[in-house]
Chains A and B, each alone.
Chain A
């Protein structure tokens, strides 16, 4: 139950009066409030600093130290206050959590001391409010990185049942996951390097025989190079086909950049195989060999930085565009000016404006080859202005690109981490929330409802009563009333599906005669039963995980709660004296020997025949 709205529980319970006319069953007894310590101030002395608050403020979160009975261990009888030997500054945040329902992380606190205080007071760190959560997590992460070794553990534990295809894809995408994948990774890397080096060495002039001019190695050792090329291309082809096979979405894979690079890298070879040694197409063939250099881009699978560089260039498209545009503008302006300035001088290399472009570019990028130089004074003046402005124009967009790269690089790293954190955090919060809705089902199963405990002797009560707070008892009583009103029970998902299946398999047998006879003898409520109440009894096994408590037969006085084992067979329900029942029963019998009768939630107290038996049904 959301403890933050605990103050509204009385209202919710009062509003339950609206269900009463609709309900056909009697309502369960309300939990009694033994000692009404509702409106009491308590003093918390934390290392000398006194904090005062209402008792029910602390009771809002019963699963923490201050909200549960654990704080009694710190109670000081003499001073009538609770003394904690902890840091009072951090305690401020802790107490504010109770008051406002939001836990804040003060920025000046050391992260580990804060964690220790939270652990001491039994508060999980996941409920830190959104305003402070990111800061908290950042600090925690920094701290952990500083303290721990730089061991990167395997982030994805291998899911147990993966198809061969999925396993292959995973091996391709994350080479660190298995040895095979690592081997494959390095082998392909090696062959890419070999292929690139081969292409380079092919053009180097090897030694030649004296009567011939120097030939490049490629033409001298044609066969060797051809074999090398074939081997590399085969490896690449096999790799491409394997990736294509393993890809979860083949169409998407074929459209991806990496696969296009793969294809372009191996295509020239096949085209070369297909084409005959024809004169007119050999020119085109030579051009195709240029594309072999694209194999070097295959390295981007092996290098994260290269991928990010490519991504940066893509995302910096606007800055690059600006650079290009401004450069073009400047080039045209200066080329025109230089052309007209040098027009007068003879033997000037500045023959036309496009010819001046080359000079302008070389000057603006401060290259200065010196193949074209101005000779006139005006030309030299404008030439110097050109080179100065070149420095400025180029220097401007470069920092933008660099900072983009840096930002994307760090963002890339942070995004993955944040995604993993978010999933884990949400999962933990969901589990905590589920705990509250399961609390009701759990207390049902253990059958330790308060009303039954009313009648037990005090000693028994001590060890039978779980430490459920009064607030929880009242909340559970409210949910119990709702069950009675609608004549249906809350169950958990597992059990619901189980019973759903069974309901589909077998039909309901008719009402057992034993029950109806007993029913006939009963008094008031039976006559107004609605039709759907026979169902629960005939349906078979209830939640399979109820633990039988010990019970002593033959007790003459008030007995303990008796939880019966579940019935798994329907036929047994037809026996009148059958002890199998789906739900627990507590029978308090005074003079007569104790007798347990089956009772489902459709139940009705037994009639006048058993008047000495005061039956209290506990679900």
Chain B
């Protein structure tokens, strides 16, 4: 099935919707969409990106460690239609939120990234997975050396901050409220505004 999927993706050529429609649906200008599409098409001539290619591309930016798990979660966050491939439209919509969206939209997107099973709650296991994936990207040679429970400490800190009613899970509203209280995080979220 994986082979057939790949075969399908190399033979079928997906074309994105027209430039005007995408401009209307996202917060990008025509110029920016052009630049984005050129880069997208260069890496994926067939017009879609499958998970393997996605992981490969993302891993190029983190040569020290293993970015595959985080790339997997990212892929799922971008693949809103859940069909195992990202078309240009999904790609651009996701980027539109991340780069040009309102604060609330960004926080919602991040919440959906963390909520692996899409049940509306972030529990400890999901958060541990995410944090572990982030730490995997660091690789082996870090200072100080990574001990086994470091991700767990991060998760504990996170839950302490976010989980207001201490019920063991974080809901969207708790998440948004907690983030809005944290000034450092608010500043960090604005960091990549002018990436394009």
* Nearest CB of chain A from residue B30's CB, rounded to whole Å: 11
Determine whether the beta carbon of A8 is less than 8 Å from that of B57.
yes
Interfacial chain B residues near A24, Cβ < 8 Å = 154, 157
Closest beta carbon of chain B to A75's beta carbon, Å: 24
Q: How far is the CB of B131 from chain A (nearest CB, A)?
A: 6
Smallest CB separation, A35 vs chain B (Å) = 13
Q: Does A607 contact B (CB under 8 A)?
A: no
How far is the CB of B72 from the nearest CB of chain A, in Å?
12
Give the segment of A26-34, A122-130, A171-179, A572-580 that binds chain B. Answer: A26-34
Segment 458-484 of A: residues with Cβ below 8 Å from B = 474-475, 478-479, 481-483
- A486 with B183: in contact, given A1-B61, A8-B57 (CB under 8 Å)? no
Interface of B is mostly: helix
Query: What is the bound-complex CA distance between A387 and B15, given in angstroms?
Result: 75
Evaluate contact between B98 and A496: CB separation under 8 angstroms: no
A486, A495, A525: most-surrounded residue (chain B CB, <10 A): A486
Is A19 interfacial (CB 8 A cutoff)? Answer: yes
Q: Is the CB of B192 within 8 A of A499?
A: no
Is A14 at the interface (CB under 8 A from chain B)? yes
Query: Please, what's the 1-or-0 string for B51-65, where 1 marks a CB less than 8 Å from any CB in chain A?
Result: 000000110111110
Any A CB within 8 A of the CB of B185 = yes
Contact indicator B110/A8 (Cβ below 8 Å): no
Do A33 and B194 have beta carbons less than 8 Å apart?
yes
Contact partners of B58 in chain A: CB under 8 A: 8, 12, 15
Q: Check A528 against B113 for contact (C-beta < 8 Å).
A: no
* B31→A39 contact, CB < 8 A: yes
Check A536 against B143 for contact (C-beta < 8 Å).
yes
Which B residues from 69 to 119 make CB contacts under 8 A with A?
70, 73-74, 77, 91, 95, 98-99, 106, 109-110, 113-114
Asked if A13 meets B157 with Cβ closer than 8 Å, knowing A18-B113, A486-B138, A536-B144, the reply is no
Q: Does B1 contact A (CB under 8 A)?
A: no
Q: Which of B99, B147, B184, B196 has the most CB of A within 10 A?
A: B184
User: In the complex, which residues of chain B have a beta carbon less than 8 angstroms from the beta carbon of A415?
Assistant: none
Q: How far is the CB of B118 from chain A (nearest CB, A)?
A: 16
Flag whether A532 is at the interface (Cβ < 8 A). Answer: yes
Question: Is A10 located at the chain interface by the 8 A CB criterion?
Answer: yes
Asked if A5 is an interface residue, CB under 8 A from chain B, the answer is yes
Give the docked Cα–Cα distance between A17 and B189 (Å): 6
Q: A17-B98, A532-B150 are in contact. Are A495 and B143 (CB under 8 A)?
A: yes
> In the complex, how many angstroms separate the beta carbon of B194 from the nearest chain A beta carbon?
7
Distance, CA A24 to CA B159, complexed state (A): 12
Of all chain B residues, the one with the shortest Cβ separation from A493 is B141
CB of A500 closer than 8 Å to a CB of B = yes
Tell whether A489 pairs with B142 under 8 Å between CB atoms, given A5-B57, A14-B99: yes
Using CB atoms, name the residue of chain B closest to A503. Answer: B145
A282 within 8 Å of B (CB atoms): no
Contact A8 B142 (CB under 8 A): no
- Chain B residues near A12 (CB-CB < 8 A): 58, 61
With a CB–CB cut-off of 8 A, which chain A residues contact B40?
A: 7
Assess whether A492 is interfacial by the CB under 8 Å rule: yes
- Within 8 Å CB of B91, what residues of A? 11
Residues of the B chain whose Cβ atoms lie less than 8 Å from the Cβ of A524: 183-184
Residue with the greatest number of chain B CB neighbours at <10 A, chosen from A12, A30, A39, A524: A12
- Count A/B pairs, Cβ under 8 Å: 168
Contact A486 B188 (CB under 8 A): no
- B130 close to chain A: CB less than 8 A: yes
Residue of B with least CB distance to A491: B143
Closest residue on chain B to residue A539 by CB atoms: B144
B42 contacts across to A, CB distance below 8 A: 7
* CB of A608 within 8 Å of the partner chain: no
CA distance A542 to B143 in the complex (A): 9
Closest beta carbon of chain A to B114's beta carbon, Å: 8
Which residues of chain B are within 8 angstroms of A436 by Cβ–Cβ distance? 63
Please measure, in the bound complex, the distance between the C-alpha atom of A23 and the C-alpha atom of B191, giving whole angstroms: 14
| B131: nearest chain-A partner, CB-CB | A22
Interface string of B120-146 (1 = CB under 8 A from A): 000000000011001101111111111
Prevailing SS type, chain A contact patch: helix
* Residue in A38, A474, A496, A535 with the greatest tally of chain B CB atoms within 10 Å: A496
Interface check B16, CB cutoff 8 A: no
Q: Which residues of A contact B22 (CB under 8 A)?
A: none
Interface residue total, chain A, C-beta cutoff 8 A: 64
A17 near B109 (CB under 8 angstroms)? yes
Tell me, rounded to whole Å, the shortest Cβ–Cβ distance linking A181 to chain B. Answer: 44
Contact of A30 among B114, B141, B143, B191 (CB under 8 A): B191
- Specify the chain A residue showing the minimal Cβ separation from B96: A14
- Complex formed: what's the CA distance from A290 to B64 in Å? 67
Please state if A39 and B143 are interface contacts (CB–CB under 8 Å): no
Instruction: Assess whether B138 is in contact with A528, with CB atoms less than 8 Å apart.
Output: no
Per the bound structure, the CA–CA distance linking A39 and B35 in Å amounts to 7
Residues in A1-57 with C-beta less than 8 Å from chain B:
1-2, 4-5, 7-27, 29-30, 33, 38-39, 54
Partner of B138, one of A15, A26, A488: A488
> Does A366 count as interface, using CB distance less than 8 angstroms?
no
Measured CB to CB, the nearest residue on chain A to B157 is A530
A433 at the B interface (CB under 8 A): yes
B14 in contact (CB, < 8 A) = no
Within the complex, what minimum Cβ distance (angstroms) separates A343 from chain B? 71
CB of A437 closer than 8 Å to a CB of B = yes
**Which residue of the partner chain B has the closest CB to A508?**
B144
User: Would you call B184 and A525 a contact (CB within 8 A)?
Assistant: yes
Determine if B153 is an interface residue (Cβ-Cβ < 8 Å): yes
B138 and A482 within 8 A (CB): yes
Task: Report A-chain residues with C-beta under 8 Å of the C-beta of B99.
Answer: 10, 14
The B164-189 residues at the A interface (CB cut-off 8 A) are: 175, 179, 183-185, 187-189
B138 pairs with A20, CB closer than 8 A: no
* Interface, chain A (partner B; CB < 8 A): 1-2, 4-5, 7-27, 29-30, 33, 38-39, 54, 433, 436-437, 474-475, 478-479, 481-483, 485-486, 488-493, 495-496, 499-500, 503, 524-525, 528, 530-532, 535-536, 539, 542
- Other than the known A21-B179, A479-B61, A485-B134, what 8 A-B pairs have Cβ atoms closer than 8 Å? A5-B57, A18-B130, A20-B188, A33-B194, A488-B135, A491-B143, A493-B141, A539-B143
Task: Please name 29 pairs of A and B residues whose Cβ atoms are closer than 8 Å in the assembled complex, sorted by A.
Answer: A4-B43, A5-B43, A8-B39, A8-B57, A12-B58, A15-B98, A18-B74, A18-B130, A20-B110, A22-B131, A22-B134, A26-B184, A26-B188, A27-B188, A30-B194, A481-B191, A482-B62, A482-B138, A489-B143, A490-B139, A491-B143, A493-B141, A495-B141, A496-B141, A499-B143, A499-B144, A503-B145, A535-B144, A539-B143
Top-4 shortest CB links A-B:
A7-B39, A2-B60, A14-B98, A496-B141
Q: B residues touching A (Cβ–Cβ < 8 Å)?
A: 31, 34-36, 38-40, 42-43, 57-58, 60-64, 70, 73-74, 77, 91, 95, 98-99, 106, 109-110, 113-114, 130-131, 134-135, 137-147, 150, 153-154, 157-158, 161-162, 175, 179, 183-185, 187-189, 191-192, 194-196
